[in-house]
Amino acid sequence: MLSSLVTSPRVLETIDERLLRCGISRRDFVKFCSSLMIAAPFGLAITDKKTPEDVAQGLGKVIRPPVIWIAFQDCTGCTETLLRTSHPDLGDLILNVISLEYHETLMAGSGKQAEEALTEAVARYSGKYVCVVEGSIPTRDKGVYMKLAGRPAMDVLADVAGKAAAIVAIGSCASWGGIPSADPAPTGAVGVVDLMPEKTIINLPGCPPNPYTLLGVVLQFAESGTLPELDAERRPKFAYDRDIHEHCPRRAHFDAGNFVKQFGDQGHREGWCLYEMGCKGPDTHAGCSTRHFNEIPDVWPIGIGAPCIGCTEKSVAFRVPMFQVVQLHTVAAPPNTYAPISSPQGTISPLATGLVGLAAGALAGAGYVASRQFSKAPRDESVPGSGPPGGSSTHDQGPDTGPKP
């Protein structure tokens, strides 16, 4: 399909028209749709359809959404993860499904040419395009720490994202600042939401996030003009509403109490739970444990034996030390440990009972004897006390003369 590339049409056209013009068969497109149904997240408008034909029917009428992808303080990891999807592959995606107008890593042009392409795309599709932001935006010292075509990142963002129909902040950096915002944050890096909270923004945090989440969001927006349901952090719920821990393939080891104690130990080789190595799975909301990367089973951090660092959580990733064990909140005991009907209680041995009885008896006897002694004492004292009429002197003599029988 890549070979069928023709020069980019400078008008908005539907996917069907595009495919027809490029000579791509209906069969190929339905195949593409079926792979999309498998790959794209459940619960999404696009995958609610029954068959790939239904998807093709709906998707065919969609006007290819123009996408402008701008990168700021990033490592291009989010782009890399998108490049590594194969079903559907990136070529299909950017050439047939979306209309990628500007992407610094993928485009051939550079320098003035590239700048012109950006300006032109923003002007042509103003108010209609989806702006994907990758990387954080430096704000300290008027944003001089990152410049694009001589302009600070903040200005570029205000210009490009300001005219977008929707903004997708891809990756943890664009979502809230990510690694560049980690202490001491020399550039004062922030996310897109921090700079333009009133805009329509979808955060797809992750380092990197799963590319299918991006695909799903963009396609749903293109097809129906709606956005998926978002949580408080503006993350789509279909991908970010569950804990990593809830669906972790290693959960059985957690429940059984099988923990890796040291990297490379027997438990680590056997694929045991990484909780004690500082895995942030219990604190992290993301779909990684059910939807792995690159369409290869077990390609995700925990799958390859590295503890989750909580990259989708603003309060965890790059804030909490990587190997610090997280506090669990409400996690039920593993299924092999149930409370017994009657909880075990200690019994009191006859010996202990006897000893305590003896001690109590001795105390009671001592008390009785002492009381007898004290009740006798004032009688002896009263005889010499009757001599001098002074009241206090008897008191002073008391302790000395008292206890003699």
Partner 1 sequence: MSTAIDRRQALLGMIGAGGTIAGALAPSVAAEEHPAHPVAPPDAVSMLYDNTICTGCRACMMACNDANGLPSDTSLSQGLWDMPTDLNSKTKNIIKLYEEPGEGFAFVKRQCMHCLDPACVTGCPFGALKKNLWGAVTWDGSRCIGCRYCEVACPFDVPKFQWDHWNPKIVKCEFCFDQRLKENQQPACTGVCPTGAVIFGKRVDLLAKAKARIAASPDKYFEKRVYGEHEAGGTQVLYLSSVAFEKIGLPNLGSTSLGHYATKVTSVIYKWLSGPIIVAGILGALIKRNWNRHEAERPEREKQTGLPEQL
Cβ neighbour number for residue 346 with a 10 Å cutoff: 5
- Joined tokens for residue 316: 């965890």
Nearer to partner 1 by C-beta: 240 or 259? 259
- Joined tokens for residue 207: 């380092």
| 386 lies in the site for partner 1, by CB under 8 A | yes
Nearer to partner 1 by C-beta: 56 or 302? 302
Which residue stretch of 102-110, 125-133, 157-165, 337-345 sits at the interface with partner 1 (rule: CB under 8 A)?
337-345
| 382 lies in the site for partner 1, by CB under 8 A | yes
| 392 lies in the site for partner 1, by CB under 8 A | no
| 351 lies in the site for partner 1, by CB under 8 A | no
The residue type at 179: I
Answer for which of 11, 232, 332, 351 binds partner 1 (CB under 8 A) is 332
Using DSSP bridges, classify how beta strands 147-148 and 66-71 pair: parallel, antiparallel or unpaired. Answer: unpaired
Answer for which of 7, 110, 226, 330 binds partner 1 (CB under 8 A) is 330
| 349 lies in the site for partner 1, by CB under 8 A | no
Q: Give the span between the Cα atoms of 395 and 72, in whole angstroms.
A: 93
Q: Is 291 helix (H, G, I), strand (E, B) or coil?
A: coil
- Joined tokens for residue 162: 């300001």
Answer for which of 328, 360, 364, 369 binds partner 1 (CB under 8 A) is 328
Tokens 């059910």, located at residue: 290
Nearer to partner 1 by C-beta: 91 or 384? 384
Q: Give the span between the Cα atoms of 238 and 235, in whole angstroms.
A: 9
Q: Give the span between the Cα atoms of 255 and 277, in whole angstroms.
A: 16
| 27 lies in the site for partner 1, by CB under 8 A | no
Which residue stretch of 166-174, 175-183, 244-252, 334-342 sits at the interface with partner 1 (rule: CB under 8 A)?
334-342
| 390 lies in the site for partner 1, by CB under 8 A | no
| 339 lies in the site for partner 1, by CB under 8 A | yes
Q: What separation, in Å, do the N-terminal and C-terminal C-alpha atoms of the chain show?
A: 119
User: What DSSP element (H or E) covers 201?
Assistant: strand 201-204
Close Cβ partners of 175 (under 8 Å, ≥ 6 residues apart): 169, 191, 192, 193, 203, 204, 205, 233, 235, 314
Per-residue binder mask for partner 1 (CB under 8 A), 273-312, x = binder: --x-------------------------------------
Nearer to partner 1 by C-beta: 23 or 398? 398
Q: Of 200, 208, 136, which is closest to residue 171 (Cα–Cα)?
A: 208
Give me the half-sphere count of Cα atoms (radius 13 Å) on the Cβ side of residue 55: 25
| 252 lies in the site for partner 1, by CB under 8 A | no
Q: Is the dihedral of CA 240, 241, 243, 249 positive or negative?
A: negative
| 346 lies in the site for partner 1, by CB under 8 A | no
- Distance in Å, CB of 345 to partner 1, minimum: 9
The residue type at 319: R
- Distance in Å, CB of 385 to partner 1, minimum: 8
Answer for which of 182, 296, 299, 331 binds partner 1 (CB under 8 A) is 331
Residues 216-235 within binding reach of partner 1 (CB under 8 A): none
Answer for which of 338, 350, 390, 396 binds partner 1 (CB under 8 A) is 338
DSSP state of 304: G
- Size of interface with partner 1, in residues (CB under 8 A): 22
Residues making contact with partner 1 (CB under 8 A) = 257, 275, 327-335, 337-344, 382, 385-386
